[in-house]
Amino acid sequence: RPPGARPTGEAEPLRGPRRAMAQSMGRSRDEVMPCTIFDDADVHAWTQGQDITARLVRAIAAGCRAEPGLNAFFDAEAASRRLMDRIDLAMAVDTPDGLIVPVLRDIENKNAREIREDLNAIKEATRQRKVAPEDMRDFTITLSNFGMLAGRYATPVIVVPTVAILGTGGVRHDVVPVMGGIEVHKRIPLSLTFDHRCVTGGEACRFLAAAIENLGQPS
């Protein structure tokens, strides 16, 4: 800074969700070997009225079915991983108090209506600042739908001991080549970060391919 310039403002201790976020992100930086792959899901075939967030949740379930190794915990000290029997999806939610991660339980065995009901319950609990601590624990994989605000691609941060997080950008209209010409299609940008200590590039790519295939279905 220029000579003689002094910082302004007061130091603000981090509390609650913001403090937890700082600790979690610091641990990830120290422990995880992250790698991120990017792609786009063409959703041109969607029927009208599709629930984007619910579709993303179902797509993650499809990815986990294709590659269960991304729905797992990794223990570096024991050099072991645990494949989880159930998919419990953390939803990264931005709040004035910091980042919180309420969890959708057992997403593989829920239909679109049940997923939407759970999402609405999370939204209301977050609005009222009444998300219970037990509803932010023991998740197995994470979705960060940052595109609701801005952005196309990112390098989302994995929460230890999980091994994967899918970031989704805003829906965009892109020009795509088709047989005999070009068309404008809706596409969703996807960014999948995985822990390369226990997930291979091939496993991550197959997970993402399965999620993209699921998102490409009309309904």
User: Which 8-state DSSP code applies to residue 9?
Assistant: S
d(CA 60, CA 143): 8
d(CA 135, CA 113): 20
Q: H/E element holding 149?
A: none
- What's the token pair of residue 45? 């075939």
d(CA 142, CA 80): 20
104 within 8 A of 88, measured Cβ to Cβ: yes
The verdict on whether 196 is a catalytic residue reads yes
Q: Helix, strand, coil shares of the chain as percentages rounded to 5? A: 35, 25, 40
Catalytic residue among 44, 173, 185, 196: 196
Q: For the chain, how big is the Rg over CA atoms in Å?
A: 19
- What's the token pair of residue 215? 């998102």
Q: H/E element holding 186?
A: strand 181-195
Catalytically annotated residues: 196
